[in-house]
Amino acid sequence: MTLPSNVTIIEVGPRDGLQNESKFIPTPLKIDFINRLSETGLSVIEATSFVSPKWVPQLADAAEVFQGINKKPGVRYPVLIPNIKGLEKGLTVGVNEVAVFATPSEKFSQKNTNCSVKESIERIAEVIAVAKTHGIRIRAYLSCVLGCPYEGEMAPEKVAALADTLFKMGCYEISLGDTIGVGTPLKTKRLIEVVSAFIPVNHLAVHFHDTYGQALANIYAALTQGIASIDSAVAGLGGCPYAKGATGNVATEDVVYMLQGMGIETGIDLRALLIVGQFISQQLGRKPYSKVNLAMMR
């Protein structure tokens, strides 16, 4: 078994981590949060999403946030884009990397995007066509890859087919998301084996929620399959507004601690990250969900 020597962490706290907060978080605080994350050694921070305020009110200030952050050289600040209208809004403020999203679950697609899987791919194709003309990099999220709140367990072959479609359309990386956190290590390993038959493993990432406490174990399983790109959220922030019961993302602090203990480089200053986790948790009025943060910051 050969593990990767370096792993890229995609910090999704400012977007996926905050989108489900019921109380609106002031724009200056969001900007401050991202600026603090930029000083921890993270190389990718997903800043916000240009989604309709009707569906995700928390991210109604996407343009102001993206324009307001200090964009540190060497750090990428992708944004989530649901459709062509969102892309057009992003272009007006200088967005240069976007993420699109889809799911192999027909029912989740209807709940999440109010359209079928086929229609969602058509929307994504439109976004990709325009993004390419502007030289914008496109990443793709796949939701519910190990289980869906409406359809149950998801067949790896179904996930692979959709991932293959998005990769061929021009997405440079496909992030496999366990949206409701039901995955376990052997199922994770099997999923990656099936998907990597279509897409080179260096173009795959993983995105685990920790609902059942399996996220770190699943990440380890993914590492053994050669995955070297991991989504996570500082302090374990997050949830999904369209997946009832889904808890936060795996905590970035916990992932970095595990990787450091395995001799895998991330470029991240764990101490600095712990401080940011404490900061945003205090602002939200609660303790971090990160076990490493709670243990090391006592």
How many C-beta atoms surround the C-beta of residue 22 within 10 A? 6
Per residue in 71-83, pLDDT tens? 999 999 999 999 9
| Residue 49 within a domain | yes
* Whole-angstrom distance, CA of residue 206 vs CA of residue 10: 10
Per residue in 220-274, pLDDT tens? 999 999 999 999 999 999 865 545 555 689 999 999 999 999 999 999 999 999 9
Question: Would you state the structure tokens that stand for residue 276, as one six-digit string?
Answer: 């940011």
Per residue in 162-211, pLDDT tens? 999 999 999 999 999 999 999 999 999 999 999 999 999 999 999 999 99
Asked if 47 and 36 count as a contact pair (C-beta separation under 8 A), the reply is no
| Residue 179 within a domain | yes
Tally of domains in the chain: 1
SS3 content of the chain, % helix, strand, coil (to 5): 45, 15, 40
> What pLDDT sits at residue 243?
52
> What pLDDT sits at residue 1?
72
**Residue predicted with more confidence, 18 or 109:** 18
| Residue 36 within a domain | yes
| Residue 259 within a domain | yes
Reported confidence tier of residue 297, pLDDT bands at 50, 70, 90: confident
Question: Would you state the structure tokens that stand for residue 69, as one six-digit string?
Answer: 């952050």
Reported confidence tier of residue 298, pLDDT bands at 50, 70, 90: confident
* Whole-angstrom distance, CA of residue 97 vs CA of residue 207: 18
Instruction: Summarize the confidence of residues 7-23 as an average pLDDT.
Output: 95
Per residue in 32-65, pLDDT tens? 999 999 999 999 999 999 998 988 999 999 999 9
| Residue 285 within a domain | yes
Read off φ and ψ for residue 126, nearest 5 degrees: -65, -45
How many C-beta atoms surround the C-beta of residue 174 within 10 A? 27
Residues written for the chain: 298
> What pLDDT sits at residue 248?
85
Question: 204: alpha, beta or left, given left = phi > 0 and alpha = psi -120 to 50?
Answer: beta
* Whole-angstrom distance, CA of residue 183 vs CA of residue 247: 13
Report how many helices (DSSP H) and strands (DSSP E) the chain contains, helices first: 11, 9
| Residue 220 within a domain | yes
* Whole-angstrom distance, CA of residue 250 vs CA of residue 238: 9
- The CATH number of whichever domain residue 287 belongs to comes to 3.20.20.70
Query: Active site residue: 144, 148, 171, 240, which one?
Result: 240
Asked if 183 and 147 count as a contact pair (C-beta separation under 8 A), the reply is yes
- Name the residue range of residue 254's domain: 8-296
Strands (E), the chain: 8-11, 44-45, 48-49, 79-80, 97-102, 137-142, 173-178, 204-208, 229-232
> What pLDDT sits at residue 42?
98
- Whether 148 sits among the annotated catalytic residues: the reply is no
| Residue 2 within a domain | no
| Residue 3 within a domain | no
